Amino acid sequence: MTCIQKEITISSKPRGFHSITNEVVSQFPEIGELQNGICQIFIKHTSASLTINEDADPTVRLDFESHFNELVPENQSYYQHTFEGSDDMPAHLKASILGSSVQIPITNGKLNMGTWQGIYLCEHRNHTGSRKLVLTIWGERLVK
């Protein structure tokens, strides 16, 4: 059994839902070393999140952003955590709803996702910087 962990940086993205599958795979080529296993991706931030969903049609990501803005609106009178701006508390709520990590099977050295699936970085703030992800893979090495 092999276990490899690496921290990567995802470049700053505007508010919204962004496909990062290719960035993850290109920054963590060690995925290709496993015959089968698991890849866990954890985001080290409280105002952004991760999820897996439709990655073929970019309008899905636009609809996610629109829906979450309706679900968790800004400028609510009951928010007390407002010092960092009107998008801050909603960002924390959205991040908690979606979650801070995803797990993906690895099969024959590749992430084993469905045909249309991709990894999303869900950026919930209007202004932010790069985001740090901790990637951990464990499993059986490819037989060479």
* pLDDT band of 143, cuts 50, 70, 90: confident
Closest alpha carbon to 121 in 6, 7, 13: 13
CA–CA distance, 21 with 39 (Å, rounded to integer):
12
* Helices 88-98, 58-71: inter-axial angle, 10-degree rounding: 120
* pLDDT band of 126, cuts 50, 70, 90: very high
Report whether pLDDT(142) > 80: yes
**% helix, strand, coil for the chain, step of 5:** 25, 40, 35
How does pLDDT run across 59-90, given as a tens digit for each residue? 999 999 999 999 999 999 999 999 999 999 99
pTM for this structure? 0.95
* pLDDT band of 116, cuts 50, 70, 90: very high
Total structural domains within the chain: 1
* pLDDT band of 124, cuts 50, 70, 90: very high
Domain extent at residue 67: 2-141
Report whether pLDDT(144) > 90: no
What's the mean pLDDT in 39-63? Answer: 97
CATH of the domain at 106: 2.60.120.460
CA–CA distance, 23 with 9 (Å, rounded to integer):
9
